[in-house]
Amino acid sequence: MKTLQALMLALCLAGTASVHAQVGPTAAEAARYQGLHAAAQAGDAARIASLATAGADLDARDAHGRTPLHVATFAQKRAAIQALAKAGAKLDLLENDRYDAVTIASVANDEETLRLLLSLGASAKQVTSRYDGTALIAAAHLGHAGVVQQLIAAGAPLDHVNNLHWTAVIESIVLGDGGPRHQATLKALVDAGANLQLGDREGRTPLQLAQARGYAEMVKMLQAAKGR
């Protein structure tokens, strides 16, 4: 019973983090922005270039630790992202909740912005969030299969274990709904060679977790890969 209660608490906490930690600027915050933050929010690439030439701090922080790049990523302003990168903005900084631009785009299921960030040299390998996770774990949790495939191709660590003792494979199961999106996510991880023997804190393997949740398609997939 205690083990079940602990699992449910962890599920609740992880789900809460997904909903609340990825917080973009509010309308009120955006209205108060000046300089590069305002240009990033508006997607004004020309203004970004002008301010950068004038010596503006490309990595300045707002009250939540967001740089102009974070703001542009939340706003899906890809021209602004390109302008900031061209001017020399750092691509892998973390904001106050310990998210980088890659993880922000991944959680938003924004494949186009993620593709741009990775092409510009942003890393898919960083440890992010209060759970010491990765963009890959966050995307697997949410069943963003296309994002997961991009991150895998960019060298994201397949078997990183967060401080809940979960991998991307485990999160695709225990925080997923067992449906097509999470099945596709799990398949991408399996096909990429993720370690399917790594268990949770109680030693339960992905196969055992899928069986316990009654996720028949995931069980079939994991059984087919068993012993790999």
Please name the amino acid found at residue 163.
Answer: N
The overall average pLDDT reported for the chain is 92
Q: With beta carbons less than 8 A apart as the criterion, state whether 98 and 135 touch.
A: no
Q: What is the pLDDT of residues 125-149, one digit of tens each?
A: 999 999 999 999 999 999 999 999 9
Q: What is the pLDDT of residues 199-224, one digit of tens each?
A: 999 999 999 999 999 999 999 999 99
pLDDT band at 226 (very low <50, low <70, confident <90, very high): confident
* Closest by CA position to 100, among listed 139, 130, 131, 69: 69
pLDDT band at 23 (very low <50, low <70, confident <90, very high): confident
Full domain range(s) for residue 88: 24-93
12 with 63, same domain: the answer is: no
pTM of the predicted structure, to 2 decimals: 0.90
126 with 211, same domain: the answer is: yes
Euclidean distance between CA atoms 225 and 219, whole angstroms: 10
13 with 37, same domain: the answer is: no
Concatenate the DSSP letters of all residues of 130-175 into one string.
Answer: TTTB-HHHHHHHHT-HHHHHHHHHTT--TT---TTS--HHHHHHHT
CATH number at residue 221: 1.25.40.20
**Three-state secondary structure call for residue 128:** strand
- Written as six digits, the tokens of 144 are 């963003």
